[in-house]
Structure 1
């Protein structure tokens, strides 16, 4: 086992890794920008080292700064959390080249899944169902028109190197295709430095279902069920739950085994998530995230496992602590992402927390780095807390979520807590009957 690991991240996920490491008897090193000198992960880690000024490009995204911090502190491994450098294959390679263990998959697998076209081709070869679409990138409008006619409108054009909804445009007919194609390429170039796009069939009312997998890097892998992440705004997840309300046990086992076999065949190491659109009983692969997900706590709640602990164990060369037959769904869990944002426009709202009280009681978990007097910096993502609830079934989880939201106090800044109070009054949410378009349609009617 490692003696010391460095956490190349900030906020609640850095604190999450600190806690897992401490339970394992592993020392932790927090890195931070000057803006995060008083952050909770810095206070809680065994050591802390400043790696630069507030801009992420000069601190949390600086490979040289992170590697220097690891060498200075004698860290044997680096946990990337999510975001920042977590899916940067060049960083992973550099970590390994410096004789430090990266807690996650190989640079090869990150690179493979980071390119949407390569990822789709790989998953298709491994037997994972994919959305009908172009074979490889589409460079010319004429080719785009041929592909769109073959698979049928509506179609969606996506950036090969894309993410977060950038470089993604919908064309409902051939009349809309040219503008959508050119706009998607332009956005992709601006956002990712790569204007390559591909085309897929657009599904009208799908759910966003993702399957949690875990591999030992030696040809062994398991799945830990699925999460429903369909409640989204501008392709950003707002609420996640496990198990998915629309997935029955037989379907769960079928798609889970398909995903586990695929990553086992790859020799994948660590945590990963295979994401699908799900419509009319069929799964369509969209991407694989080669890291821990923001919403991993709901899976931990229903399966009773610690995914971060498992990441550290496997990276240290130990076998997985559970087998597929050990993993059984227990109850239902829901996570809501609480952002420091001002409604109705969801504009970032940094500032000083004048009062903070986390809810408690049976089945309640709060992943947050907030404290009274903490000043939320304006330089980073607006996520400030994740409220996770677990119950014997979905109705109990919903009741606990409503109760916990009522107990939560976050004063001094605006937050998205009122949004969840409102959503819990909606029959569609209470019944679990929603798609990836539901929330934006609801916001237009009720908030916009």
Structure 2
């Protein structure tokens, strides 16, 4: 799909994590692969801190691997909610710009809708990548993606989750459309055309 992601890897033991960090360079973001809500996510800056994290914050083993990704310093984070139906139609529900820098979990951050500082070219990239992901994954219902944009304007995909996000109620209120209700209806066979929700609504 030609979608950029930060360099990273999956560690099943301490030596894996150290090797990944050595390859991509510090700082890195480390987090368990098996939890929700950003629990135990941390930014580490050295081998010593990484070893401490692995020994105290998580239990890393082949059944519970740890994700190790390059930390994008001074980047901003973007949340996007999209809705897809069984016919391959995808509509952007809302694009939110985080106030805090990338790395602060979305559950702990504030955001604005519409975005305030993101260029139109970056927004079009985010819309295009989200649509491609929804179609390739065969999403029917809601999908949430998170992106980072660097100071130089590079866009990176952080996560793609084929499910509703905590942001959906706020986006729904901002755009005046009940996205969770629409998701239930498209999963029961309705099309986005049936629901008369066929294009992105940008609140003013």
* TM-score above 0.5, yes or no: yes
Choose between structure 1 and 2: higher helix proportion. 1
Within-5 A mapping of 1:270-289: 270-280=141-151, 281-289=153-161
| 1:127 equivalent in alignment to 2:2 | yes
Match of 1:305 in 2: 177
Structure 2 distance, partners of 1:316, 1:130, is 33
What SS is found at the alignment partner of 1:308?
helix
1:310 Cα deviation after fit: 1.2
Query: What is the CA deviation profile of residues 318-376 of structure 1, one whole-angstrom value per residue up to 9, with x for unaligned ones?
Result: 1113465x324231xxxxxxxxxxxxxxxxxxxxxxxxxxxxxxxxxxxxxxxxxxxxx
| 1:183 equivalent in alignment to 2:76 | no
Within-5 A mapping of 1:133-212: 133-134=8-9, 137-186=10-59, 195-212=64-81
1:152 Cα deviation after fit: 0.9
What SS is found at the alignment partner of 1:274?
strand
Contact 1:209/1:276 (CA < 8 Å) preserved in 2? yes
Query: What is the CA deviation profile of residues 47-97 of structure 1, one whole-angstrom value per residue up to 9, with x for unaligned ones?
Result: xxxxxxxxxxxxxxxxxxxxxxxxxxxxxxxxxxxxxxxxxxxxxxxxxxx
Shift of the 257–301 alpha-carbon distance from structure 1 to 2, 3 Å rule, reads: farther
Structure 1 distance, partners of 2:90, 2:150, is 26
| 1:317 equivalent in alignment to 2:186 | no
Shift of the 241–145 alpha-carbon distance from structure 1 to 2, 3 Å rule, reads: same
Structure 2 distance, partners of 1:329, 1:178, is 45
Within-5 A mapping of 1:32-43: none
Q: What residue ranges of structure 1 are gaps of 5+ in the alignment? A: 1-125, 332-448
Comparing both chains, which one has the higher relative contact order based on Cα–Cα distances under 8 Å and sequence gaps of 6 or more?
2
Within-5 A mapping of 1:23-102: none
TM-score (norm 1): 0.40
The one of 234, 246, 257 equivalent to 2:117 is 246
Query: What is the CA deviation profile of residues 388-438 of structure 1, one whole-angstrom value per residue up to 9, with x for unaligned ones?
Result: xxxxxxxxxxxxxxxxxxxxxxxxxxxxxxxxxxxxxxxxxxxxxxxxxxx
Structure 1 distance, partners of 2:67, 2:55, is 12
Contact 1:226/1:243 (CA < 8 Å) preserved in 2? yes
Shift of the 214–234 alpha-carbon distance from structure 1 to 2, 3 Å rule, reads: closer
1:294 Cα deviation after fit: 2.8
Shift of the 153–292 alpha-carbon distance from structure 1 to 2, 3 Å rule, reads: same
Note the aligned Cα RMSD (angstroms): 2.7
1:138 Cα deviation after fit: 1.0
What SS is found at the alignment partner of 2:40?
strand
Shift of the 255–167 alpha-carbon distance from structure 1 to 2, 3 Å rule, reads: same
Match of 1:431 in 2: none
What SS is found at the alignment partner of 2:108?
strand
- Would you say how many aligned residue pairs link Structure 1 and Structure 2? 198
Contact 1:157/1:181 (CA < 8 Å) preserved in 2? no
TM-score (norm 2): 0.82
| 1:213 equivalent in alignment to 2:82 | yes
What SS is found at the alignment partner of 2:17?
helix
Within-5 A mapping of 1:371-386: none
Structure 2 distance, partners of 1:182, 1:230, is 32
What SS is found at the alignment partner of 2:122?
helix
Match of 1:294 in 2: 166
Structure 1 distance, partners of 2:94, 2:32, is 28
Structure 2 distance, partners of 1:322, 1:247, is 28
